[in-house]
Structure 1
């Protein structure tokens, strides 16, 4: 699907399918204040079922054949999850590492390990039924959220080609027609962190309601920056707002319109040299840093339920985002030496997506159920002329002819799909499911790259690329589900998924674009879900084995050393492991646990580590090598960002102090084992990411509609390297603490 000269640039810039919204009507029992709800012991979370929407209908997590973790809005507040990065500390087999303004989001080692738009994401995120801008624009804060669902493993039938590793479904709070309500929240913490947040729900009769929500947050930088240029890199300024309208004139017709706006200024993201051994928050810098995202979306979800119980649903989405960045590409304060050239990267890129999905969903009653759907999406990336994409290399006395590169152009893509799933109850409690998805994707490239020397008025080389690729695939899933009784559920399934192929872009050497094939995965899973102690304890246990053929990976091509190219791993890449999670509620005590043990083995593959130098004359065939000091055999290597062990656990105890007054201490612990940020696993070059042990804690006093909480994230103040991006390393967040006051009304 992708073959970017254009995306080769987007990769450098970012380095510095659709699911329906949750159609569960809000009730008067729902709180509009996530902070207060998080600490109240009056409402038992096991009274209502945990719901997932992975199969276009709302189903119980305990009786759905999918490996999933579901967090409510209250869970997010309890666990200190304010955005995408914190999800990894509450979900098994998941890592999220911000590298520049993109992020490496990986489930079971599959997702996005290279910060390049020329390789598709393997984990796609959805907001209210619409697939978000892929790989980037993911840093909007979590506020006024109803639920976050993290699905592990290929989701090829319903989520399509960007979900070979999994999918994340985020559902924002919907308007409610029963009463005026809302909440207000104020927070202050170290690093001069100020947060103001709130929501207001306004009904108009029994058929119309409007909800407004907003989040404003300022935070000073975590970093100590030295070098020729410092500024205020790492300062964060977030402005987010949301409006939604629910119109339900009859019990059968429901129309929901939502609009989101986000303006996030990062102040630039500092990054040190990957080989540095000191504190990753101490960064040397020799180039101006800046960065910000401005993006929004509009989602229209309309559904009609016939007298026979069949749901007809339409989900329309429009999204537009603009990102700008200026980064120090060498990660040092050195000024233009041959060993450490001063390289400044600047970019300004816009992406726009239109999407439409139609669903027809059968009633849940009877032995036979079915879902039919169609999907279309048009995605266009635009790099404007005159500053859209620039790489400035500082000349020096030894190498005065270092050239700069610029790029402009557009990369339109389309996706067309039809999908369906049927289920049939063979005998009481024993069901077979079968689903399939046909998809057709296209990607076109209309771009111009130029190489220039600072002292020449005209480019020394101009390259034009006008290409188009078309890819067609059929994927699906077959599952056997056994509901032993109301408390015990077993499942086994085989599922497939695919990521489309395409063409790499040429670089300034004028090499003909190299094609790469589609990536295919076959996933085998078995699982057990049990409910115990009269519903007070829920457990989910699963095992998986996945084989990826022609696995796509981004490596610097020795024939075109100035850019990365996509290669297919010739042998089979294998992933396998076990995952366990549990949630318990015992009066004032709540506990949760999630853990995973996983392994990954790359298929037969040879590649050059570009950090050791590249050269067009060197022979290094991806399938045959030969192995040498520079042509490295990677066969059997573990995937990047694929820790062999993850563990998260949390507990809280609500201590009654009087009528409607409780004091609730809570602690959460997360361990992510050491892993590698690169397939080359060269510890000397900084590839090894040490284990993370993160403790979050909070103490909340709740009385009536008010709550006051003292909180800390990363209580032990572990300073760790979160991600490797080429020759640079990026730090994770240090200890943060503060006080939060909220009131519901």
Structure 2
């Protein structure tokens, strides 16, 4: 019952402290591009009811691309540190689990080059190993997270649970918008994000034929981006300030009932209410043509409120010990919002229908999973330039559909392991009339003012408006598949040597809803990787190679203007050692 997720939610749970156990692990690696990773964790039991866990990691590598420009930017380098302290206190029926986590990340800016056939393609050298920026770029991120889970088990087995969270993240970025030395076009972006959450659950005892959960949820988000865009266009620089105050409340329940020994019904229902208050403005000629504060061309002040009921009904039928079939229907929801004082967008909803079969065959040596799905989106949300003010806003498409089949297989025969997966996906987005920002002056990188006959304070967007959509969703390949295999060689002293090879294939995709083959089409690609692992007692040493054949391919385009593209990482290799204690 994920809050505000139309297509589903992914939950990542960190390892919690263990009572009565002293131990941990250390891991280090080194590879080409001076890639270094170090991480470790230590579990410390302080008393019979209290334990702490300390964890940390450090990762760095040199840039994969060389900047040919005058600033020699270290784009796509990595320098990241992360630390976490966890505490578990469990005196009897009460359990308190707390995490404190912080992270800093510096990448030196993002690496991209102009898309061939677009505005600044003359400045591209079509070399995935180089970029050519004529402005300094950087990317800094800092984050702090704190959360506490309190669980109390009543005498009848009912659990009362409280989940409290706090998250603070800050970004500082500067981009060379053109990705080339054709003109100077720089965007400086700062963003602060705060989030407070509280959830309360009442959970039934487990193990019976009927299990249930009741709960309530509250979240408060404060997001404040500031963007300053310098360009040679006459109405720039552009200043964008946007402050969002978002509130989400919800109540939900889930009921699981074993109707028979083989048939189980799972159902859930959630009501969510969302409110956003937004203030801000877009000013052009900032600090220049129109004075120190520029001239406001768009008022971003507004508010939006919406509510939706979502839920899921799931039937699981255990044919026998080795075979299970399932089917479910679910409804998801993403809130609407405010793009400007004159443009709001509606909530996005989706109905998801899925059915599948899971089996265990050949005396547990073969496991398979296969399933089909159909998703029907209403008011599908995507970004495009709003002619009323000339900046990017969120639009709704009437509908979008996605359907397909996916499957997995895992085989284990003596010391040989094999696994594979595939997915076939067909998607379709309804036609929509929008601005093709790729061909706007400046490549759509800065606000040009509201719609009107062209003057220094506004712009005529009519020649750039066209029909998009009518084809597949973006970054939605029709076919993807992967496979991997390994074999364990038994060596003296109970050690094991395991070579493994993996292959992953991603089919062709589209990166822009106008579907122009020369600029918007991303070719299919496949990537090999290999791993050789030696295990001895609590030690393991691994040699790894990613992108074994050094296949360079375009992974995507910059969503803000579609004129720049990102390349895959080159072949990387190294050695990694781990010890558990």
From 159, 171, 174, give the equivalent of 1:326: 174
- Counterpart in the other structure of 1:153: none
Deviations along 1:108-136, whole A, 9 cap, x unmatched? xxxxxxxxxxxxxxxxxxxxxxxxxxxxx
Contact 1:177–1:209 (8 Å) recurs in 2: yes
- Counterpart in the other structure of 1:263: 104
How far apart are residue 601 of structure 1 and its match?
A: 0.8
Please state if 1:647 is matched with 2:481.
Answer: yes
Deviations along 1:155-208, whole A, 9 cap, x unmatched? xxx1021x2122221111111123211111121100011111111111124322
- Counterpart in the other structure of 1:715: 548
Q: Please list every run of 5 or more consecutive structure 2 residues that lacks an aligned counterpart in the other structure.
A: 117-123, 442-449, 454-461
Deviations along 1:505-525, whole A, 9 cap, x unmatched? 2xxxxxx52222111211111
State the aligned residue count.
553
The verdict on how the C-alpha distance between 1:588 and 1:175 changes in structure 2, with shifts beyond 3 A counting, is farther
- Counterpart in the other structure of 2:410: 583
Moved segments of 4+, more than 6 Å: none
SS in 1 for 2:259: strand
> For residues 486 and 272 of structure 1, what CA distance do their matches in structure 2 show?
55
- Counterpart in the other structure of 1:567: 395
Q: TM-score, normalization: structure 2?
A: 0.91
The verdict on how the C-alpha distance between 1:719 and 1:482 changes in structure 2, with shifts beyond 3 A counting, is same
> For residues 402 and 630 of structure 1, what CA distance do their matches in structure 2 show?
19
Structure (1 or 2) with the greater strand fraction? 2
SS in 2 for 1:435: strand
- Higher relative CO (Cα under 8 Å, sequence separation at least 6) belongs to 1
- Counterpart in the other structure of 1:344: 186
Deviations along 1:402-446, whole A, 9 cap, x unmatched? 321123352110110101111222333122232111000111112
Moved more, 609-618 or 214-223: 609-618
Please state if 1:358 is matched with 2:192.
Answer: no
> For residues 367 and 184 of structure 1, what CA distance do their matches in structure 2 show?
43
How far apart are residue 216 of structure 1 and its match?
A: 0.9
From 455, 476, 494, give the equivalent of 2:329: 494
> For residues 467 and 607 of structure 1, what CA distance do their matches in structure 2 show?
22
From 178, 187, 194, give the equivalent of 2:29: 187
The verdict on how the C-alpha distance between 1:410 and 1:546 changes in structure 2, with shifts beyond 3 A counting, is same
- Counterpart in the other structure of 1:247: 89
The equivalences for 1:33-44 within 5 A come to none
> For residues 364 and 593 of structure 1, what CA distance do their matches in structure 2 show?
34
How far apart are residue 651 of structure 1 and its match?
A: 1.7
Moved more, 230-239 or 361-370: 361-370
> For residues 266 and 635 of structure 1, what CA distance do their matches in structure 2 show?
34
Moved more, 301-310 or 352-361: 301-310
Deviations along 1:69-103, whole A, 9 cap, x unmatched? xxxxxxxxxxxxxxxxxxxxxxxxxxxxxxxxxxx
How far apart are residue 606 of structure 1 and its match?
A: 2.8
Contact 1:191–1:219 (8 Å) recurs in 2: yes
> For residues 695 and 499 of structure 1, what CA distance do their matches in structure 2 show?
36
Please state if 1:291 is matched with 2:139.
Answer: yes
Contact 1:280–1:729 (8 Å) recurs in 2: no
From 468, 473, 476, give the equivalent of 2:303: 468
The verdict on how the C-alpha distance between 1:448 and 1:636 changes in structure 2, with shifts beyond 3 A counting, is closer
SS in 2 for 1:449: strand
- Counterpart in the other structure of 1:28: none
The verdict on how the C-alpha distance between 1:536 and 1:255 changes in structure 2, with shifts beyond 3 A counting, is farther
Contact 2:300–2:339 (8 Å) recurs in 1: no
Please state if 1:546 is matched with 2:375.
Answer: yes
Please state if 1:504 is matched with 2:339.
Answer: yes
Contact 1:645–1:673 (8 Å) recurs in 2: yes
The verdict on how the C-alpha distance between 1:430 and 1:293 changes in structure 2, with shifts beyond 3 A counting, is same
How far apart are residue 472 of structure 1 and its match?
A: 0.8
- Counterpart in the other structure of 1:735: 571
SS in 1 for 2:438: helix
> For residues 612 and 724 of structure 1, what CA distance do their matches in structure 2 show?
15
SS in 1 for 2:17: coil
Q: TM-score, normalization: structure 1?
A: 0.71
The equivalences for 1:116-515 within 5 A come to 158-161=1-4, 163-250=5-92, 252-275=93-116, 278-335=126-183, 342-383=184-225, 388-394=226-232, 401-452=234-285, 455-456=288-289, 457-462=291-296, 464-505=299-340, 512-515=341-344
How far apart are residue 563 of structure 1 and its match?
A: 1.3
Deviations along 1:188-239, whole A, 9 cap, x unmatched? 1000111111111111243221111111112100002222432322221011
Please state if 1:525 is matched with 2:354.
Answer: yes
How far apart are residue 703 of structure 1 and its match?
A: 1.5
Deviations along 1:555-590, whole A, 9 cap, x unmatched? 223444x312222113x3111000101333344333
The equivalences for 1:15-34 within 5 A come to none
Deviations along 1:687-730, whole A, 9 cap, x unmatched? 21222211121111122222211111111111111110121111
Deviations along 1:229-273, whole A, 9 cap, x unmatched? 3232222101111111111222x3221111111100011112110
From 467, 473, 478, give the equivalent of 1:633: 467
